[in-house]
Amino acid sequence: MRSFFFLVLLNVLVLRSQGQIPSLGAYQAAAESIVLLTNKNEIIPIEGLDTVRLGVINFTGKSILSFLETAQKYTPHVEEVQPVTQMGRQLAQEWASQQAQKYDLIILAIQDQPYQGRPSNFMFKRTSIKEIMKRVQVLTLLFDAKDGIRQMPELGDSDALLVAPYEGYGPALAAQAFFGGHQVTNHLAQTLHPRFKKGAGLYLDQTRLGYAPPFIANMNEKILQDSISSIIQEGIDSMAYPGAQVLVARHGKVIYHQAFGFHTYEKKRLVFPEDVYDLASVTKVSSGLAALMRWYGTGKLDLDAPLSTYFDGFGKKSNKDELTLRHILAHNAQLRPWIPYWQGTLKENARYPWQKDWDTQKINDYNFRKKTFARVETPDFSTYITDSLWLHRSYQKAIYKAIRKSPLNEKPGYVYSGLFFYLLPEIVADLSQQDYETYLKQTFYKPLGAFTLTYNPLRYFAEEQIIPTERDTFFRMQLLRGTVHDEGAAMMGGVSANAGLFASANDLAKLWQMYLNQGQYGNRQYISAKALNTFTACAFCESNNHRGLGFDKPLLKYDPQKSTVAEKASPNSFGHSGYTGTFVWVDPDEDLLFIFLSNRVYPTRLNRKLYTLGIRPRLHAALYRAIRN
Question: How do residues 304-342 score in pLDDT, each as one tens digit?
Answer: 999 999 999 888 888 998 999 999 999 999 999 999 998
The domains located in the chain, with CATH, are 4-208 (3.40.50.1700), 228-350+397-627 (3.40.710.10)
- How confident is the model over 79-127, as pLDDT tens digits? 998 887 666 788 888 989 999 999 999 999 999 875 455 555 667 678 8
- How confident is the model over 114-127, as pLDDT tens digits? 545 555 566 767 88
Nearest to 92 by CA among 148, 55, 140, 134: 134
pLDDT of residue 122: 63
Type and span of the H or E element at 247: strand 243-250
In order of 285, 456, 608, the CA distances from 485 in angstroms are 17, 11, 16
- d(CA 508, CA 567) in angstroms, rounded, equals 24
The one-character DSSP state at 202 is B
CB 453 within 8 A of CB 286: yes
With b meaning 16 or more CB within 10 Å and e meaning fewer, what string describes 291-330?
bbbbbbbeeebebeebbbebbeebeeebebeebbbbbbbb
pLDDT of residue 231: 98
pLDDT of residue 317: 83
- d(CA 154, CA 110) in angstroms, rounded, equals 13
Please, is 71 exposed, middle or buried when counting C-beta atoms within 10 Å of its C-beta (0-12, 13-18, 19+)? buried
Nearest to 394 by CA among 377, 382, 378: 382
SS3 at position 259: strand
- d(CA 325, CA 291) in angstroms, rounded, equals 14
Nearest to 224 by CA among 249, 244, 261: 249
- d(CA 511, CA 444) in angstroms, rounded, equals 8
Phi, psi for 90 (deg, rounded to 5)? -65, -45
pLDDT of residue 89: 83
What are the per-10-residue average pLDDT scores of the chain (629 residues)? 40 37 71 97 96 94 95 96 76 90 96 61 77 95 91 93 96 98 97 96 98 94 96 98 98 98 98 98 98 98 97 89 96 95 80 47 63 92 94 95 95 96 98 98 98 98 98 93 97 98 98 98 98 98 97 96 96 98 98 98 97 98 90
- How confident is the model over 249-305, as pLDDT tens digits? 999 999 999 999 999 999 999 999 999 999 999 999 999 999 999 999 999 999 999
pLDDT of residue 349: 67
603: cis peptide before it, omega within 30°?
Answer: yes
Nearest to 290 by CA among 448, 461, 179: 448
Amino acid at 196: F
Percent of the chain topping pLDDT 70: 91
- d(CA 271, CA 586) in angstroms, rounded, equals 24
Query: Other C-beta atoms within 10 Å of 593: how many?
Result: 26
- pTM for the structure as a whole: 0.93
Q: First-to-last CA distance in the chain?
A: 24
- d(CA 529, CA 534) in angstroms, rounded, equals 9
Type and span of the H or E element at 374: strand 373-374
pLDDT of residue 125: 77
- d(CA 621, CA 220) in angstroms, rounded, equals 14
CB 539 within 8 A of CB 330: yes
Nearest to 590 by CA among 565, 613, 555, 615: 565
pLDDT of residue 85: 62
Q: Which neighbouring-strand residues pair with 501? A: 455
- d(CA 425, CA 616) in angstroms, rounded, equals 30
